[in-house]
Amino acid sequence: MTNHPEFLEYTGNAGRAEGYLLPSATPVQLIDQDGTPATAGGYKENYSLPDAAVLLEGYERLVVGRRVNEQANALVRQGRMAVYPSSTGQEACQVAADMCLRSSDWLFPTYRDTVAILGRGVAPLEVFESLRGDWHSGFDPHQYNTALPTTPLATQLLHAVGVAHAAKLRGENTVVLALCGDGASSEGDFHEALNFAAVFHVPVVFLIQNNQYAISVPLIHQSVAPSLAHKAVGYGMPGERVDGNDLAALLAVLGHAVNRARNGGGPALVEAHTYRMESHTNADDATRYRNAEEVAQWVPKDPLRRLKTYLDDAGLLSAADSERFAAAAETLAATLRDGLNTETSPDPAELFRYVYSEPTPQLREQSQLLAAELAAGSANLEGALR
Amino acid sequence: MTTMAQKPQSQAAGPVPAPELTGVQTITFAKALTLAMSDAMTADTSVLVFGEDVGTLGGVFRVTDGLTRQFGEERCFDTPLAESGIIGMATGMALNGMKPVVEMQFDAFAYPAFEQITSHVAKMGNRTKGRVRLPLVIRIPYAGGIGGVEHHCDSSEAYYVHTPGLTVLTPSTVTDAYIMLRDAIVSQDPVIFLEPKKLYFAKDTVDLDALRARYAPAATAAAAETSIGKAVVARQGTDATLIAYGPSVAAALAAAETAAAEGRSLQVVDVRSLVPFDDETVAAAVRSTGRAVVIAEAPGFASMASEIVARLQERCFHSLAAPILRVTGFDIPYPAPRLEKYYLPGVDRILDTVDELQWEDS
């Protein structure tokens, strides 16, 4: 068993591991759904409200994130993008993930984490290159210390462990935060990633955005564990659960886990309870598997509304702030509209350019074939995406 | 805090240099691989070796023997029993500046890692438009002839050669074991490195200084020419060309030896690099004889052997005196140890097939 000082502090020499590893009895909440400061109690850490400036920045990011989701949905309807997995309702998780990391840390997102990727500073049109269908991804992971979003579930958690392990061997003071959903927690790679992270004691924080559905399958068909955060105990790392629509609580819980990892405390698992307000993607019909009453229950828990109420009540949000945030959101939305309304023509020669660091003789031949077809105007482009 | 927090330190002392082997030596195929890793780790501190049992035990075939002693637990270490985890973590480590050389222990044990290999390792460079390279080597002991139990003798090359983005190599000589593994480690692309298990304890005499000189910082471009994408003619011959790779090269050479005694001159080509494939050398060899047999252990249906035949048919049709034939494993799961002798392409089956090559005067 680990001899980490934090563990001993919690358990004493005769203490039980579970007390240190298990999540708090209820999900951590610092601002309730009415925007009122929640009574902190019963949590295994002393979580406290972040500073006003931090909450204000977080609120701006939420406003921008919500606008991105709306704009992206509109662009799909207009045929400007192939598909968009909306994160409306769960933006707080992504915003908190960004805010608790330094730019030198690494983020490992999934396909639903556009808001988080934008928050890392990735150029908006680079984020949307894959969603519009120009290439499978569009940015340099090293430029932003942000991995490409993955479509297979949970596979990226292992890459996060690898980056963290390498960082540790290289003596870098890097923390890696890996996002996944509730469905991903059923995958074998989820298990292998958590186990590797614990065994190698690397600085990774796993954040499950439990939005209650894996496409159509509800959580009860995904897992009957007491909570997904409870899974941590089996790996020997602390687990924590948090209200995933409460940005303040997310910042506190993730911030604690990230600091702990940075200080050599090893990995942690955080489960954020949130809700996917829209369908899995635009191609999905959520009314087939969940009813309107259930969705309605989550409307009052909206992360934007509650933080705005809190900031308003505390006199922290000025009209000028609100205007500024809305303007920033509109600017980004306009960037996306303008960028995606501009016709692009991906270079067919690129099909062969990046398969190997140097094209194989076979790829050179195939590249020449396509080039000749294009030159002769004989390439069969019927039915292809224009 | 050590790398492995929960693991007691076995030896208090730091890394211990291995006794240096130099000059002309008779070594096993396995030892050549060990030396390739050891020399690469010495030359480049970002090279790491990990997998199941590769540390303290030195690998079930002892291929990583001594690396932990030589380089410490941070550079050569055991992982939990999880193949996807090994490849996935290696992917992340390669993303962050390391060059992992990982072992899959046995061919069929790599299948749990298949998603990581096909969905991520193979595609990372392409997805990022070349902004990320994954200099990652996946060593897989493969194929049969060792009396292994179930799941220990698969020839799994077809899965990997069918996946764009993967370089797939398989050596058949002690010299190539060293050269090709070092070339694989130098490569900026992910390499599936298939090691024929039945060759691990084959021996040959090699000049280690000469081999190492190829990788010295001051080596000339010619000396440093890579084995990746290069087939070799392993035996000269004029009547027909036998094309083989990895574990089947020995059978092809033995067949050629027997044929020579019977007055027939067979050429043997060792493909070595399955991807990229050396069309030039292989096609030239077949044109020079006009007859060819492709030999491989894997089931023949939709196989590497099929691919070689198709490529040669496209390139050499007008030089051919006979259809190109194949001698492969049957299209069955790899058989139990007492049955594998009926399955493996052997000298007799190869020579019988050569006899079918429409010889006008025989």
| Angle value at C-alpha B155, between B149 and B159, nearest 5 degrees | 130
Computed over every residue of chain A, the mean pLDDT equals 92
Residue written as tokens 């010495």?
B42
Rounded-to-integer distance, Cα A204 and Cα B265, Å: 62
Rounded-to-integer distance, Cα B67 and Cα B15, Å: 9
Tell me whether residues B133 and A166 touch, CB distance under 8 A: no
Nearest chain A CA: its distance from B77 CA (Å): 10
Model confidence band, residue A41 (pLDDT cutoffs 50, 70, 90): confident
Could you tell me the sign of the dihedral formed by the alpha carbons of B61, B64, B68, B73, in that order?
negative
Q: Please tell me if residue B128 touches chain A, with a CB cutoff of 8 Å.
A: yes
Of chain B, the percentage scoring pLDDT greater than 70 comes to 93
| pTM for the predicted model, two decimal places | 0.93
From chain A, pick out residues whose CB is under 8 angstroms from the CB of B120: 150, 152, 155, 159
Task: Report helix, strand or coil for B133.
Answer: coil
* Residue B152 annotated as catalytic: yes
Given a contact cutoff of 8 angstroms between Cβ atoms, the answer to whether B170 and B246 are in contact is yes
Q: Which pLDDT score is estimated for A364? A: 95
Could you tell me the sign of the dihedral formed by the alpha carbons of B217, B218, B219, B221, in that order?
positive
Q: Please tell me if residue B284 touches chain A, with a CB cutoff of 8 Å.
A: no
* Tens-place pLDDT, residues A177-226: 999 999 999 999 999 999 999 999 999 999 999 999 999 999 999 999 99
* Tens-place pLDDT, residues A273-322: 999 999 999 888 999 999 999 999 999 999 999 999 999 999 999 999 99
Phi-psi region for residue A154, left (φ > 0), alpha (ψ -120 to 50) or beta? left
Query: Strands B167-169, B273-275: parallel, antiparallel or unpaired by DSSP?
Result: antiparallel
Angle between helices A52-77 and A303-313 (to 10 degrees): 150
Strands (E), A187-344: 204-210, 213-214, 217-218, 239-243, 268-273
* Tens-place pLDDT, residues B10-24: 444 556 665 579 999
Q: How many residues does chain B have?
A: 362
* Tens-place pLDDT, residues A217-275: 999 999 999 999 999 999 999 999 999 999 999 999 999 999 999 999 999 999 999 99
Q: Which pLDDT score is estimated for B2? A: 37
Q: Which pLDDT score is estimated for A379? A: 57
Tell me whether residues A135 and B129 touch, CB distance under 8 A: yes
Strands (E), B175-271: 191-196, 203-207, 232-235, 240-244, 266-270
Number of cross-chain residue pairs from A and B with Cβ atoms under 8 Å apart: 160
Mean pLDDT within A4-17: 54
Could you tell me the sign of the dihedral formed by the alpha carbons of B163, B79, A164, B96, in that order?
negative
Rounded-to-integer distance, Cα B321 and Cα A351, Å: 38
Q: Which pLDDT score is estimated for B12? A: 43
Which among A50, A79, A56 has a CA at the least distance from the CA of A256?
Answer: A50
Model confidence band, residue B350 (pLDDT cutoffs 50, 70, 90): very high
Rounded-to-integer distance, Cα A233 and Cα B54, Å: 28
Query: Residue B344 contacts by C-beta under 8 Å, 6 or more apart in sequence?
Result: B144, B145, B251, B297, B329
Nearest chain B CA: its distance from A4 CA (Å): 9
Q: Which of A2, A150, A159, A260 would best serve as a mutation to test chain B binding (most B beta carbons within 10 A)?
A: A159
Given a contact cutoff of 8 angstroms between Cβ atoms, the answer to whether B266 and B256 are in contact is yes
**In the structure encoding, which two tokens stand for residue A202, read together?**
């690397």
DSSP string, A144-204: HTBPPPBSSSSHHHHHHHHHHHHHHHTT----EEEEEETGGGGSHHHHHHHHHHHHHT--E
From chain A, pick out residues whose CB is under 8 angstroms from the CB of B279: 361-362
From chain A, pick out residues whose CB is under 8 angstroms from the CB of B92: 158-166
Rounded-to-integer distance, Cα A6 and Cα A4, Å: 5
Q: Which pLDDT score is estimated for A114? A: 96
From chain B, pick out residues whose CB is under 8 angstroms from the CB of A168: 3
Q: Is the peptide bond before B276 cis (omega within 30 degrees of 0)?
A: yes
User: B341-360: buried (b, 16+ CB within 10 Å) or exposed (e) per residue?
Assistant: eebbbbbebbbebbeebeee
Rounded-to-integer distance, Cα A330 and Cα B109, Å: 52
* Tens-place pLDDT, residues A92-141: 999 999 999 999 999 999 999 999 999 999 999 999 988 888 898 879 99
Q: Which pLDDT score is estimated for A382? A: 55
Which among A311, A315, A237, A313 has a CA at the least distance from the CA of A271?
Answer: A237
Q: Which residue of B has its CA nearest to A152?
A: B119
User: How is the beta sheet containing B137-142 ordered, strand by strand?
Assistant: B76-78, B47-51, B99-103, B137-142, B191-196, B167-169, B273-275
Rounded-to-integer distance, Cα B147 and Cα B335, Å: 10
Strands (E), A166-296: 176-181, 204-210, 213-214, 217-218, 239-243, 268-273
Q: How many residues does chain A have?
A: 386
Kindly report which listed range (A202-216, A372-386, B243-257, B321-335) carries the lowest average pLDDT score: A372-386
Higher pLDDT, A82 or B106: B106
* Tens-place pLDDT, residues B238-281: 999 999 999 999 999 999 999 999 999 999 999 999 999 999 99
Rounded-to-integer distance, Cα A27 and Cα A119, Å: 25
B3 has a pLDDT exceeding 90: no
Tell me whether residues B115 and A155 touch, CB distance under 8 A: yes
| Angle value at C-alpha B192, between B189 and B198, nearest 5 degrees | 150
| Residue A342, CA atoms < 13 Å, CB-side half-sphere | 10
Kindly report which listed range (B65-74, B133-142, B144-153, B312-321) carries the lowest average pLDDT score: B144-153
ipTM at complex level: 0.91
Facing residues of B299 across strands?
B329
At A295, the amino acid letter reads V
Tell me whether residues B165 and A356 touch, CB distance under 8 A: yes
Query: Strands B240-244, B292-299: parallel, antiparallel or unpaired by DSSP?
Result: parallel
**In the structure encoding, which two tokens stand for residue A365, read together?**
């031949």
Q: Which pLDDT score is estimated for A16? A: 60
Q: Which of A143, A356, A357 would best serve as a mutation to test chain B binding (most B beta carbons within 10 A)?
A: A356
Q: Which pLDDT score is estimated for A82? A: 86
